[in-house]
Structure 1
Amino acid sequence: MSIRLEFEITFKSDYHVGAGHGLGLQVDSALLRDPDGVPVIRGTVLAGLLRESLANLLALQPFVRQPNCQQFLERIFGSPRQLKRWRISSARPAGSLIPQVLPQKQSTKFMAAQTTTRARINPRTRRVEENKLFTHEDGDGSLRFRFVAECERDDAIAQQEAEYIVAAARMLRSLGAGKRRGYGECEIHLVDRNRESDLLTRLAKRLKGETVPESAPAPSHDETKPLHLPADPGNHTYRLRVLIRLDEPLLIARRAEAGNQYETLEMIPGSVLRGALAWRMTHRHGGFTNSHPAAFNRFVALFFNDTVRFSPLMPVELDLGDKDNKGKKDNLKGYATIIAPRDLVTCELYPGYVGENSDEIHGIWSLLDDTNHTKCLICGRKAASVKLKTLDGFITLAGVPRSRHKPNQTIEMHIRIDPNSGRVRTGDLYGYVALEPGQYFVGEITCTNSDVWQELRRMAGLQEGVNELKLGKATQRGYGKVSVVFAPIDTPIFHLQDLSQRLDSTDHVRMLLLSDAIVVDQWGRFWRGFDPAWLQRELGLPSNVTVEIDRNPQGELLAFSATRAVDAFNNKLGLPRSRDVAIVAGSSVRLSFKGIELDALVQRLQAVENRGIGLRREEGFGRVAFNHPIYRQLEGIDSPMLDLSSLAPAGEITPLTKMLDFSQAWVKTLDDASFDVFADERFEAVARLLHVSRHTSVAAIMNELQTLGEPAALLGKPLSGRDKPNFFATDGKPGMDAIEKLLGLLAETLKQKKLEQHPQAWRIGLQILAARIAGLARQQALKGGRR
C-alpha cells in the first residue's frame, strides 16, 4: 500500500521556470518545456520549494513546542543521513499529464507563454546598465498544473507526514524566478478538497494536544508458502516482453562524474529494471526485517539464484508510415532495435543503409570482410575521397535494416539554493543530460517457470496491464517515472533462426555482443578487449580445440571493441558499489576454430547464446550472437512490429493540445506564404501593433492598422502644411493588402481548430505573424534602410 496525494497549482500571475537556455536571438531565457512543447515544472523545483516551506512552517511556535516535530523535514525530503520517503513528481497542465507520443517542437515558444523584455538598473545611478537588456518567456498565469506526492509506505508515520506535506503546500505562495517581484504567485491545493480539509484538521488537533485516531496498519504482504524451485533454476522456460514508455526524463548516468554534468546512457541496462523491482519489493515488505524471514528468503531466491534474468531495454523506432493515423492511440506501432556493431562503417557525408528515405545514401560496409577501407568508395568515384566513420546509434530490425539516430535527449540545468540566504550558491550549477519523455523501450525477462514470475509479481505488487516504476537517477525529484507493461511471449523479441542455419563453417565466425559484457581473468582483472585466452574459457571449448582471431590482408586483427566503467549505488547501504569494466555492446570479432567439428561447434555456441558470457548475466550483461543476421540484411531474423497501443496516452483533446495544434498549423501556413512585400523598415511599426493587439476579428485589426501614418490618429485633426503622402496608403499598400489576406487565413485556421472565440489563440497567432513581418523589416533596416 502507498499514499498518493495529487496537488493542483493555480497561478494568480505569470510565472517563469527557466530551461537554462534561450531561443535564438529572440529569447534569452526560455520556459522549461517537455519535448511535446507543453510547459512543465520539474519535480526538483517543487521538492525544493516544499522543503523550504515546511522548514518555515516548523519554525513557527506551535510546531516548535511539539516533540520530534523537526524530524519530519528529514524523513520527508531526506538528508545525508536519512533517505527521503516521499517522491515529488513533475507538474504538467491539468488534462495533459502524460507527454505526447510524437514530440512537436516547432513554434513551441509561442505556446502558453509570452515574451517579456526587462533591463537591469544600476543601484547607484538609478539608470539602466549598458548591455543589460534581456528577454525571457513568462508562462501563462491561467494554466493549472498538477503533480503528485507519493510515499511507498502507508503506516501511521506516513499519514502524519502527509499532513505536514499538505500544510507546507498550502503555505507556499509563489514559485519560479522573480517570485519576490510579483511573478509566480500561486495557491496549491489537493485536488480532493475533502481529503485536504481532513488532513489539516488532524494536524490542528495534534498541535493542540488532542487525540487523533490513527488509521489501521497496512496488511502484511508476507505469506508462509515457500517458493519451490527446480534442480536447475538457470534453465529458463518462461519469457516476458517488457515494454516501457518514459513519462518523465530518464537519467541512467554513465558514471559518477567528478564535475557537475551527468550524461545518460542511450539504452536502459537490465540491472536498472532489476534494481527498481527489488527496491519496490523491499519497500512493500518494510525492508525485510527479522519479523519477515520467509519474505526475505523468497527475495533471495528470486534475485540471487539465477531464477530471473533481465535483458537490456533497447529504443523502439516508431512507425510513421501512415500519416493519417500518426500518433493515434489505436494505431501506434514500432520496431525493435539493436546497437550498431562497431565494425560497421559508413560514409562521413552520406551515412546510412542504401534504400533509406534520404536524398543520397552511400551504404554500410563491415570491416570484418577482409577489407581495410578508410575512404568512401562511392565518393572516390565521384569526387575527392571522403573518410569512413563508425555507424553510431541503433539499427532497426524491420524487414530491411535501417540506421537510426540515437534516442532523443534533453539537457536540463539545476541550481542549489542556500537555505540561509535563499539564493543560489556560487558554483552550484549542474546539468542533467537525460532521455526525453515520450519515448519507448523494449526488452525481455526470462524466469525459471511461470510460478517464479507470479511470485515476483505478487511480492512487487505488479498488476495486469500498465504499471508505474521509477528508474535511474533523481527518481524522487521528477525524473525516472515510466509506465511498464509485462506480457508473456513464446519466442524472443530478437528471435534468430537456429544457429545451424547461420553457421556453415568453423572459420570466419562473427561474434557480436548484444549487450555489455563483464569478463575477468583468474585473478579478477577485467578484460578490455577480445583475446583467445578468455574466449576459450567463456565459449566452453575443450582443451584440444583452439580459437583464433582472424586478421585482414594487412595483418590487423579483426576485432573491434571499446569499454566503459559500470558504476552503481547500493541504496540499502548508502554506499557506491565496486566499479566494473565492461566491453560495450556492439563490440565484434571474427573467429576461426580448429580441432572441432561443425556440429559440435554449433551445439556449444548455441549454449553460449542461451546463457551468455562473463559476470552479472542475470542483469543483462554478456548477451552474444554468432553470425547475426544484421550482416546479411536481416535474413533469418523474425522481429515483428510492436503494438504500442497499450502504453499510448489517452489522446484526449485538451485546450492546451488544441492550442499547440493550432500554432503548428499556423506556422505551416505562414511557411507557404510570401513575405517579400514587407522588406521595408517601416513595416516594423505594423509588426509592433500586431504584437500588442487584443482584437479578435480581422475588421477590428485592420481598422486599427488603417490609422498608421495619419496625423489625425495622434492629433485628432489633420496636420496643416503636410503634403507628404502616407506610405501605408501608397507604396506600402501591397503590404497592407497582404496583411489583410494573412489575417483572413488566421481567422480561417482558428475556425478550423474551433478557437475563433479564444483571445489567447488570436494573441498567439498575431505574435507569430508579427515576428515574421518584423524579422524581414528589421533585416532590411540593417542592410541600409528602405528599398
Structure 2
Amino acid sequence: MTADPTANGIRLELRLRMLSDWHIGTGTARHGLVDRVVQRDGRGLPFVPAKTLIGVWRDACEVAASALDSGPTGVWHDWVEYLFGTQSPSRVDEEARAPEQAVHAPRPAALMLEGALSFPGRLGEVLADRPQLLEAVTFVKPGVAIDARTGAAADDKLRYEEMARGGLTLTGAAELHGAEALDPDQRACALGLLWIGAELLESIGGKRRRGAGRCRLELTASEAPPSMERLQQLAQDPAAPPPPPAVADCEPERHQSSDDASWERVALTFTLETPLLAHDRALGNLDIGRDHIPGWMLLPAVLRHLDSAAAAAAARRGDLVVTPATPVVGGGRGRPVPGVLARVKDEPGRLINRMVQKPDEPVERFRAGYVPADSDGPISVARPNFVLRMHNTVHDHKQRPTSDLGGVYVYQALEPGTELAAEIRVRTGILPKGWHERLPSTWRLGRSRKDDYGLVRVKARPIQDQSPRPEQDALREGDLLRVWLLSDVLVLGPRLNPSGDPADLARALQDAFTAAGATDVRLEPHRSDNGMANAYDVARTDSWHTAWRLPRPSLLGLAAGGCLTFRVTNGRIPAKALSAVELAGVGLRRGEGFGQVRFNDPLLTAPMTRREQKDPEPEADPNGKAQLLGTAEAETDPSGRARLLGPDEAGHKEARVIERAAWRAEIRRRAEQCAADADNEVLHGLTELSASRLNSIRSLLTRLDAEPDDIRRRIARLTARWDAPQVQQALEALLVDEDKVWDVLGLPTPELFLTKDAEQQLRRELRPEALRTLLTACVAAHTRRLARQERAAVLEQAGRS
C-alpha cells in the first residue's frame, strides 16, 4: 500500500551508524564455509534492506506511542498507522474478531523509503575495484550452542556466521508523502514521532539481543523537526492525523468520446532503480514475479500522473490504452515470442515457423522470452534477469517470524537496471496538447513499493512515425488472417463465461472489425491438415482489490504469445481496419493492456529462413566492478579503476575502517609467512639468544610509539647484561627505523588503499601493531624450531644408548 506518488512531501535523509558488528542475512549458507551469509547488493557490499529498517523503526515508534497514549490505543497510535500504513492482521487476530465487526479499508503508508540503505558516496564504486578490500568489509565469527542441561557447549553445534563490520555508516532517503495537506500541528506530530522513534531505535538485524547490530539512526529533513518544548506541548494535546482516503464514487463522471479515429501515441521507457515485483503466482512461500509490467499495473499510475477525469473516462471506454511494458530487445519494445516459433533440437540456431512449416525433425518450442520488433535480421530471444530476496515478518510479542504473519517468504523480482518499454494510446482530441509531459518522473509500481521494490524512472516521448498499413495488406473472402497475441486477450463465450476458445476470439475480432468500419466480416478458425499448427495457451490473472485487500474474480483468457489462424469467410477487411484494431485491441478491458494483437506479421506468414542469434554474454569485469543503477560513474585513475576517496568526500570515514581491517589482516598473513622462513631477516643477530631472552624482548613492544631515544635507552637497559652488541644493533634497526617493518612485510601495496591519505596515516597508526605482530610471530616460530631440535637431539641420543 502506498500513497499517491505525485504528491509533494517532506524529504528525509537517513544515516544509520552501525556501532557494532551486524548481520542481516539471506537465510542461506556457503556449504563448508559459512552457515549464515550476510545479504549483499550488486557490488558485493552488505546493506540494510528498507523492509528491515521500516520494521524496527515502526516498533520504536509504537513504543513511543504507547508511552504518549498511556496505553495500546490513542491518537499517537493513529499517527503510527498514518506513517507506516495498516498492518496485515494475523491469523489469530482474524479468528478472534467478532463476525459483526466491520473490516475497514487499510490506510496506505505515508513514509516511503527510496530503496535500501547502502554505503555512502563513491565508496561502493571504489571498493568494487579492489577485491582484497572488499573481503575486509565482512568477517566470519564462530559460535556454539549451549546445552541447557549441562551448561557447556553442545556436541556438533559449532557454527560460523558472517558478520558485517561495525563502525560503518549506511545512507538512504525517504519521503513523507502528502505532507503538504497537513497543518502545522499535524506536521509537527508526524515529524516528532519519527524523530522519537529514531532515537529509540538501538539495534537492527540478527542476533541484536546478543550485542550485534547496535546502531543509531540519524535524520535530516527538508523541514526542521519540532523543538523539545513543542513536542512537550503536543504530547499533552496532539493533533489527529487526517482520515484515510475516501473510496471513489461508484458513479464516475461522464465524458464524451472523441469522433476522431486517429490516435495520439506516446512511448514510455522504464528503467528499474530497485527490483520490481509484478506478482504472477505464489508457490508456497515463494512469490514469483512476471517478466514484464502488465498494463493493469501501469494504468492507475498513468491516470494519477495525468490527473484528468477525461483520461479515466477514456480508459473505461477503451479510448485510452496502456500496453504492457515488455523488456527492451534490439533497441525497441520486445514482443512475446510467438508460440509457433521453435528451434530444431539437433541443429542449434535453426528456427522453424510451425504456422507455415511442417517440421521433419524434433523441435523445441520457446516457452518464454521476447523477440525484437524489427522483423529483419537474426532473431534473438531475450529474457530479463531476476533477483531473489528473502524476507520475514516478525511477530510483535514473540519477536520472531511465525506462520501467523507469513513467517519467512521469498520474492522473485525483476533485477535493477532492467529496461522495459510500453506505449500509451489516446484518441485524438480527448486530452489537451502536451499531456505526455506530465508522465516523466519516478514512479512506484508493483508490490512492496514503499520500501525495497518498485522504484522506476520513467521517460516519455511522442511517436511521430505513424505510417498507415499499405492497402495491399487488405484481406478478402478466402484469405487467411494470422493473429499474434501481444498480450493476454479476454473474450466471452456464448454464455458470457470467460473463454479460451478460438471461435469466441473470432467473434470478438468480428465485433472489433465492425467497430472499425469493416461490416459483414465473418471469420472461422482455420485448422490445417498438413501438420502445420496454431499454438496458444490459456492464461489466468488473479485479480485483486488493492484498497480493500479483497480478491476479485480471476481473469481467464488466451495467453500472450499465442498464434492463431482464421479464414475470412465473408466480407472484406481493409488495411485501415486492421490497423485500427491493432491500436484499439480486442475483447474486454482493453484500456488495461489486454487484447493487444498483431495481424499477418512477417514473422508468422513466411517460412523461417533466419537463424537464432544468441544474446552476447556480459563481458567479464576483471576488477569485479558492478555498478548499481542510480549512482554516478566514478572517476577513474590511470589504471582504469575508480579514483581514491579524498579526506572531504562522503564515505572517507567508513573507508578508513575497512582499510584498517584489511591492513591488519594482511599484516597477520605476511607476518606468518615471514615467521615460517627460518632465515628471515627479523631475527638476524638474535638467533643466538636463548628462548627466555628472546621472549624477554617482548617487553620492548609495549611503548613502540615513544621517541627513538627512549626506545634506544630501553633496548640498552635490556641488553646491558647480555654482552651481545650485535643484539642491541639488531633491535635498534628493527624497532627504531620507521620503515623497517614495512620493508620486511612488503607493505603497503596499492591494493590496500581506498583513500588518498591511507599510506601516510595507517603507516604511522599501525606501525606499533605491525611490529608486535611480526616480532611475536617470528620469536614464537623460532622458539618452536628450537624445541623441535632439542627433542630430536634427545630422541637421537636415546636411540644410541
Same structural fold, with TM-score higher than 0.5 when normalized by the shorter chain: yes
1:625 deviation in Å? Answer: 0.8
Q: Deviations over 1:57-87 (max 9, x none)?
A: 1222675599623322223221354323324
Aligned counterpart for 1:584 among listed residues 553, 559, 563: 559
The 8 Å contact of residues 510 and 521 in structure 2, kept in 1 or not, is answered as no
1:475 deviation in Å? Answer: 1.7
What are the equivalent positions in structure 2 for 1:207-286 lying under 5 Å apart? 207-209=235-237, 231-232=257-258, 235-255=261-281, 257=282, 259-278=284-303
SS of residue matched to 2:51: helix
C-alpha distance in structure 2 between counterparts of 1:621 and 1:272, whole Å: 12
SS of residue matched to 2:371: strand
Amino acid paired to 1:83 = R
1:172 deviation in Å? Answer: 0.4
SS of residue matched to 2:387: strand
Amino acid paired to 2:110 = W
C-alpha distance in structure 1 between counterparts of 2:584 and 2:225, whole Å: 57
Aligned counterpart for 1:651 among listed residues 632, 646, 667: 632
**Which is further off, 42-51 or 113-122?**
113-122
1:365 aligns with 2:342: no
C-alpha distance in structure 1 between counterparts of 2:641 and 2:131, whole Å: 9
Relative to structure 1, is the Cα distance of residues 491 and 98 closer, same or farther in structure 2, using a 3 angstrom cutoff? farther
Amino acid paired to 2:592 = E
Alignment correspondent of 2:775: none
SS of residue matched to 2:380: strand
C-alpha distance in structure 1 between counterparts of 2:133 and 2:195, whole Å: 33
Relative to structure 1, is the Cα distance of residues 521 and 718 closer, same or farther in structure 2, using a 3 angstrom cutoff? farther
1:346 deviation in Å? Answer: 1.5
Aligned counterpart for 2:399 among listed residues 415, 422, 440: 422
1:313 deviation in Å? Answer: 0.5
Q: Deviations over 1:330-377 (max 9, x none)?
A: xxxx44322111111114577xxxxxxxxxx432211112414451xx
1:5 deviation in Å? Answer: 2.4
Aligned counterpart for 1:396 among listed residues 372, 386, 394: 372
What are the equivalent positions in structure 2 for 1:88-103 lying under 5 Å apart? 88-89=112-113, 90-93=115-118, 95=120
TM-score (norm 1): 0.68
Amino acid paired to 2:109 = R
SS of residue matched to 1:50: helix
Aligned counterpart for 1:340 among listed residues 337, 346, 351: 337
Amino acid paired to 2:231 = L
The 8 Å contact of residues 36 and 104 in structure 1, kept in 2 or not, is answered as no
Q: Deviations over 1:454-486 (max 9, x none)?
A: 6967xxxx757x412111111223221211122
Aligned counterpart for 1:562 among listed residues 507, 525, 537: 537
Amino acid paired to 2:149 = R
Relative to structure 1, is the Cα distance of residues 634 and 113 closer, same or farther in structure 2, using a 3 angstrom cutoff? farther
Relative to structure 1, is the Cα distance of residues 3 and 451 closer, same or farther in structure 2, using a 3 angstrom cutoff? farther
1:515 aligns with 2:487: yes
**Which is further off, 526-535 or 501-510?**
501-510
SS of residue matched to 1:345: strand
For structure 1, list consecutive stretches of 5 or more residues without a partner in the other structure. Answer: 218-225, 283-294, 320-333, 351-360, 376-386, 636-646, 664-689, 722-739, 764-787
1:104 deviation in Å? Answer: 11
Report the identity percentage.
21
Structure possessing the higher radius of gyration over alpha carbons: 2
Relative to structure 1, is the Cα distance of residues 619 and 505 closer, same or farther in structure 2, using a 3 angstrom cutoff? same
C-alpha distance in structure 2 between counterparts of 1:499 and 1:106, whole Å: 62
1:435 aligns with 2:435: no
The 8 Å contact of residues 46 and 88 in structure 1, kept in 2 or not, is answered as no
Q: How many residues align?
A: 628
C-alpha distance in structure 2 between counterparts of 1:215 and 1:691, whole Å: 48
SS of residue matched to 2:157: strand
Aligned counterpart for 1:70 among listed residues 77, 84, 103: 77
SS of residue matched to 1:500: helix
Amino acid paired to 2:324 = P
Q: Deviations over 1:743-782 (max 9, x none)?
A: 989935567997974999xx9xxxxxxxxxxxxxxxxxxx
Aligned counterpart for 1:625 among listed residues 595, 598, 601: 598
TM-score (norm 2): 0.67
Relative to structure 1, is the Cα distance of residues 316 and 134 closer, same or farther in structure 2, using a 3 angstrom cutoff? farther
C-alpha distance in structure 2 between counterparts of 1:590 and 1:746, whole Å: 72
The 8 Å contact of residues 612 and 622 in structure 1, kept in 2 or not, is answered as yes
What are the equivalent positions in structure 2 for 1:535-550 lying under 5 Å apart? 535-540=509-514, 545-550=522-527
C-alpha distance in structure 1 between counterparts of 2:270 and 2:187, whole Å: 29
1:207 deviation in Å? Answer: 1.7
C-alpha distance in structure 1 between counterparts of 2:259 and 2:665, whole Å: 71
Aligned counterpart for 1:79 among listed residues 75, 87, 104: 87
Alignment correspondent of 2:230: 202
C-alpha distance in structure 1 between counterparts of 2:429 and 2:122, whole Å: 35
The 8 Å contact of residues 14 and 138 in structure 1, kept in 2 or not, is answered as yes
Alignment correspondent of 2:248: none
Relative to structure 1, is the Cα distance of residues 164 and 312 closer, same or farther in structure 2, using a 3 angstrom cutoff? same
Alignment correspondent of 2:386: 409
The 8 Å contact of residues 21 and 164 in structure 2, kept in 1 or not, is answered as yes
Alignment correspondent of 2:171: 145
Aligned counterpart for 1:26 among listed residues 33, 36, 48: 33
Alignment correspondent of 2:721: none
The 8 Å contact of residues 98 and 649 in structure 1, kept in 2 or not, is answered as no
1:411 deviation in Å? Answer: 1.4
1:423 deviation in Å? Answer: 1.9
Amino acid paired to 1:623 = Q
Relative to structure 1, is the Cα distance of residues 483 and 146 closer, same or farther in structure 2, using a 3 angstrom cutoff? same
The 8 Å contact of residues 272 and 472 in structure 1, kept in 2 or not, is answered as yes
Amino acid paired to 1:346 = R
1:274 deviation in Å? Answer: 0.9
Relative to structure 1, is the Cα distance of residues 275 and 132 closer, same or farther in structure 2, using a 3 angstrom cutoff? farther
SS of residue matched to 2:59: helix
Alignment correspondent of 1:447: 426
C-alpha distance in structure 2 between counterparts of 1:487 and 1:693, whole Å: 49
Q: Deviations over 1:98-148 (max 9, x none)?
A: 999xx9999998373333333333233344334433333322431322231
Relative to structure 1, is the Cα distance of residues 392 and 67 closer, same or farther in structure 2, using a 3 angstrom cutoff? closer
What are the equivalent positions in structure 2 for 1:108-147 lying under 5 Å apart? 110=135, 112-141=137-166, 142-147=168-173
Amino acid paired to 1:342 = G
1:419 deviation in Å? Answer: 0.7
SS of residue matched to 1:516: coil
The 8 Å contact of residues 34 and 99 in structure 1, kept in 2 or not, is answered as no
Alignment correspondent of 1:172: 201
Alignment correspondent of 1:747: 749
The 8 Å contact of residues 66 and 207 in structure 1, kept in 2 or not, is answered as no
**Which is further off, 480-489 or 54-63?**
54-63
C-alpha distance in structure 1 between counterparts of 2:381 and 2:124, whole Å: 22
Aligned counterpart for 2:455 among listed residues 478, 481, 484: 481
Alignment correspondent of 1:161: 190
1:587 deviation in Å? Answer: 0.5
C-alpha distance in structure 1 between counterparts of 2:257 and 2:269, whole Å: 31
The alignment's C-alpha RMSD in Å is: 4.7
C-alpha distance in structure 2 between counterparts of 1:165 and 1:60, whole Å: 14
The 8 Å contact of residues 75 and 83 in structure 1, kept in 2 or not, is answered as yes
SS of residue matched to 1:707: helix
**Which is further off, 568-577 or 519-528?**
568-577
For structure 2, list consecutive stretches of 5 or more residues without a partner in the other structure. Answer: 1-7, 89-103, 244-251, 611-627, 645-658, 692-741, 767-801
1:49 deviation in Å? Answer: 0.9
Alignment correspondent of 2:328: 316
The 8 Å contact of residues 85 and 152 in structure 1, kept in 2 or not, is answered as no
What are the equivalent positions in structure 2 for 1:596-635 lying under 5 Å apart? 596=571, 600-631=573-604
SS of residue matched to 1:198: coil
1:708 aligns with 2:732: no
SS of residue matched to 1:203: helix
C-alpha distance in structure 1 between counterparts of 2:118 and 2:587, whole Å: 47
Q: Deviations over 1:288-314 (max 9, x none)?
A: xxxxxxx7x556435434342111101
Relative to structure 1, is the Cα distance of residues 561 and 706 closer, same or farther in structure 2, using a 3 angstrom cutoff? same
C-alpha distance in structure 1 between counterparts of 2:458 and 2:42, whole Å: 20
